[in-house]
Structure 1
């Protein structure tokens, strides 16, 4: 099955990370060779170097293949984007001269920008229909052949490249969500058998409930009119408003759900409506500290802490994943073949390595695991978009926002692997600062 450009770009990033890991490992081995005194030590290090070199060359070869494939796919996309231009040139009679003049005008780019802004969060097909309706008023009857290439690219990127982690969370469609569970899990909470003639024992139930509420989370910018005029022909502003702003919002929601937004508790711009998996109390999230065992062993034990039903996901820094990929066995060979599916190996549906997840050190979270169905989202299902022109300042305002909140609601649905604390120091969380709890009750 042919891979999409997005999948190929992700593969390129993963391979480049692997290559960097191998090169870093080789640099360390060079130092070890210089420091080694015994011949058997030197021989073993040289054997390890050969193994890592083999893996490095294999990764470089695979990267070259992926680069070539990505280049081919990109060329195909460019060819499709230019198809409309060619068709318009071949079918001049279908588009009257005033229509062609309109398409070349700055007014056309501005109209398209307004249509995109008003349909932010909608499917790209809906955006295309709105554009088609606008073109019909200009006398253009074959709109599918004349969408600007820059605009086509912006629409595709905006909806294909954002929010893969956010998509795993459970959207309730409710404005407020409340769930209760019985905290009694010992023998007194079990169902009992009845012996004839004996009184039945009353069930002991202690309910704990959790309420999730939303807040507005937004991205807001203003652009002076001169900047808009200068960039109308290239579509640069359209790309930014339609691609950058929604992706920034989704990225913030993902971060808040996993590790918190990192802002101070009383900050005006703090995302308070999302309870981070790492901050949920022990009933929802288990915490383990990294041991001296292989990382894969710790992750298997971490997975055992989760008992809630549903698909499980891992979140970690790309370097952490790279260190697991480059683990060597007792013979100095790679413990896992290049290309191993670590998600399948660990029994999770996917492994995410977002840019905002730092490499855990000194007691900070190294890896977070969660059950997607157990993390409930309330509020809007799409991002609202608004634009306005400020006469006094000659500026355009762009606001995109979503009313949203979320938290884990099922017991034992999250787990966190913490890095070892530095010797002589306390636990330090480099991922976030003081958080507030959106859950009530």
Structure 2
């Protein structure tokens, strides 16, 4: 089959690789109809996620048709059309039983690697380094799906791929970012990062009852998408001081909640602080550029909530712990527990509450993955969300 392979920093190729095989009774093989490039895939592309190996198949947002099943999978049948959550979760461990699917205790065969960095290991993730299990990803013609009796959700044929594909990651991730905030009617929520996850966080905050949602970014086309998703206000952080602007918009109180949808490669208009973090990151004295998170913590009201769904990988410098502790802030975070949200969000789509396809900017053949990665990273041609078709 053809698959997208990580060949080194800023180097993606589409090559012929062996077809996946059933290895466990709970496996399925899915013939992929659509797959997408996620913002967190750029952390792999830019070389910031450790334990990648040359030739690894990438991609964790994919869907398609079940073509083969292990004998232990009783909830699916060959021919079913499914979306596949990016966290690989057993469904049986203590974490999964509590709905904490992204910290499944049984799906990461390389837990010892992750434990060295994080203390404890999260779940396995498709196409996202050997620290996260070393599983081949879904930017390919076929994928092996472990624990297929727990993860994949069967979807109806009358919905397009683009309407349901983002249930695999970015829609539940944005929704969880908003859900973490315990939004009450009248709340003001600020969202850092207006990429696809941020756009879904905006839409989700509005669905959950926020009165105002403020989106923060520097690209006009992304801020326009945020407004389409329901943002009542947008801030270009290259034009305004974000902290001052948020104070003015909230009569000096600060937003009730802040959602960080940016993660480890944040940009900052200040040359000095941006250069500081980039230099420390380049020399591996720091693994993150935490401008957005610092700002979110300083901006939110006393007693407010900071929700972090942007991806971080290790250690950051100049973390404002004094503000966090002294102002009684609550921090809630995590990779999305996608399986928890799949069915409720699928019903939102079926009921017409949201059409997730609004985020798609480009649809390209799988063979153009190398060009698509470059375009997406460099924000060329207003690339908001790229869907690849095998």
TM-score (norm 2): 0.27
Question: RCO higher in 1 or 2 (8 Å CA, sep ≥ 6)?
Answer: 1
Between Structure 1 and Structure 2, the one with more helix by share is 1
Between Structure 1 and Structure 2, the one with more strand by share is 2
Structure with higher Rg: it is 1
TM-score (norm 1): 0.24
